[in-house]
Amino acid sequence: MRILTVIGNRPQFVKAAAVSRLLRKRHEEVLVHTGQHYDDELSQVFFEELGVPAPDRRLGAGGGSNTEQTARILGLLEGVLLQTAPDLVLVYGDTNSTLAGALAAAQAGMPVAHVEAGMRSFDRTMPEELNRVVVDHASLLLLCSTETAVANLRREAVVGQAHLVGDVMADVSIAFRPIAAERSSALADLGLLEGGYLLATAHRAGNVDEAERLARLVELLESLPLPTVLPLHPRTAARLEATGLRGRLEAAPRVRLTPPMGYLDFMHLEMHARAILTDSGGVQKEAYLLGVPCVTLRESTEWTETVEAGWNTLVGLDRDAALRALGRPVPAAARPELYGGGRASERVCDAIDAYTARG
Ligand code: UDP
């Protein structure tokens, strides 16, 4: 079978690292990089470190608003789909590349498999939430990370088949832990002590696009009680520049700004952080898997199990709530295995095999 996979941004490179290797043992894969993320720091480093196969096609469709970008990818993909005639199109997550991949394939009458299907924050103001809902309803094979996701899809009466497979990002997190421990010197390079610092990331549109929200984020970060490493996503860096807030963060005595990190250095810092503050979906999961308390800088999350298990606290941009969350003791109970134990990509490939075999 020929499977065409659409990827385009940082978390999708991580997800493809888990799946492409296995998929290629059983099928022909055409890997399309949309160019949604094009900086080396957000793209190339993940191919190198995680062994993601080189893309077969590069669409170079980065930049612009969500609508412009989605439309550009959609237009370019139409030709690629006609030329390559895949038996199935595989998309990951909730980005413009996911939406365009799913729509282009569905319009061409090709079956779509969606990895990380059924995730819902129930916050329709998030562009990602709109993408998730539309993609799930355009997909025929819905590969879910959690039971909650399966239940969400059932409630929405999607037409595709839903399978609980676990989370493919968890596969990568588990597999690369020893490699990060061996190869990364990020802790020493930054002069940090194990358990003696916080790690933060922020790039959601809802947190960084409006100047007033961004200022609240900066105030929150300034008030944190430990050295705080903040690898700056380009979107956040651009907004900090545009609003003149970058100088304030640079002057904050405990905040350490860095460029976006490669996977191994970032994971090394995640492993040894006292806690992680983030608005990233992937990072919430990774914190849980590593047993590091997470403070989520959003009012809602798709990864509700991490909150229920007591390892993740939602604080939005409320500084006092963040400080209180950091003071909470870690749960004494063992962490339940939530994300498939490192075998999700195998189950993704099995589900694809079963689906394509049925013809
Ligand atoms: N990540 C990384 N370097 C960084 C920040 C994040 O390698 O400086 C990784 C992180 O470990 C996770 C993924 O990028 O695997 C999450 O991506 P992001 O936060 O951009 O996306 P989201 O999960 O929010 O969609």
Of 44, 190, 209, 192, the residue nearest 126 (C-alpha): 209
Supply the residue whose CA is at minimum distance from atom 4 of ligand 1.
261
pLDDT of residue 39: 83
Each residue's pLDDT expressed in tens, for the chain with a length of 359 residues: 999 999 999 999 999 999 999 999 999 999 999 999 888 888 999 999 999 999 999 999 988 999 999 999 999 999 999 999 999 999 999 999 999 999 999 999 999 999 999 999 999 999 999 999 999 999 999 999 999 999 999 999 999 999 999 999 999 999 999 999 999 999 999 999 999 999 999 999 999 999 999 999 999 999 999 999 999 999 999 999 999 999 999 999 999 999 999 999 999 999 999 999 999 999 999 999 999 999 999 999 999 999 999 999 999 999 999 999 999 999 998 899 999 999 999 999 999 999 988 76
pLDDT of residue 115: 98
Which CATH class name applies to 2-166+343-358? alpha beta
Q: Which of 168, 173, 201 to mutate to test the pocket of ligand 1 (most atoms within 8 A of CB)?
A: 201
Distance 126 CA to ligand 1 centre (A): 18
pLDDT of residue 359: 60
Residues 6+ apart with CB under 8 A from 84: 2, 4, 30
Q: Is the CB of residue 283 below 6 angstroms from any atom belonging to ligand 1?
A: yes
Distance 79 CA to ligand 1 centre (A): 30
Q: Which CATH architecture has domain 172-327?
A: 3-Layer(aba) Sandwich (3.40)
pLDDT of residue 37: 86
Torsion, Cα 194 198 202 208, to 10 degrees, reads -150
Contact 112, 105 (CB under 8 A): yes
Q: Is the CB of residue 261 below 6 angstroms from any atom belonging to ligand 1?
A: yes
Q: Is the CB of residue 118 below 6 angstroms from any atom belonging to ligand 1?
A: no
Residues classed as catalytic:
203
Q: Is the CB of residue 88 below 6 angstroms from any atom belonging to ligand 1?
A: no
Distance 13 CA to ligand 1 centre (A): 10
Q: Is the CB of residue 263 below 6 angstroms from any atom belonging to ligand 1?
A: yes
Name the residue type at position 134.
V
The Cα 318–Cα 338 span in angstroms is 28
Q: Which of 98, 230, 266 to mutate to test the pocket of ligand 1 (most atoms within 8 A of CB)?
A: 266
Identical fold for domains 2-166+343-358 and 172-327, yes or no, is: yes
Q: Which of 177, 280, 301 to mutate to test the pocket of ligand 1 (most atoms within 8 A of CB)?
A: 280
Q: Is the CB of residue 201 below 6 angstroms from any atom belonging to ligand 1?
A: yes
pLDDT of residue 136: 98
Ligand 1, residue 128: give the atom nearest the CA: 25
Ligand 1, residue 233: give the atom nearest the CA: 8
Q: Is the CB of residue 176 below 6 angstroms from any atom belonging to ligand 1?
A: no
Ligand 1, residue 9: give the atom nearest the CA: 20
Ligand 1, residue 201: give the atom nearest the CA: 5
Which tokens sit at 284? 């919430």
Residues 6+ apart with CB under 8 A from 12: 92, 93, 95, 97, 98
Distance 261 CA to ligand 1 centre (A): 9
Q: Is the CB of residue 46 below 6 angstroms from any atom belonging to ligand 1?
A: no
pLDDT of residue 352: 97
Burial code of 10-33, b = ≥16 C-beta within 10 A, e = fewer?
bbbbbbbbbbbbbbeeebebbbbb
Of 73, 124, 125, 81, the residue nearest 99 (C-alpha): 73
pLDDT of residue 62: 87
Domain ranges of the chain: 2-166+343-358, 172-327
Ligand 1, residue 173: give the atom nearest the CA: 15
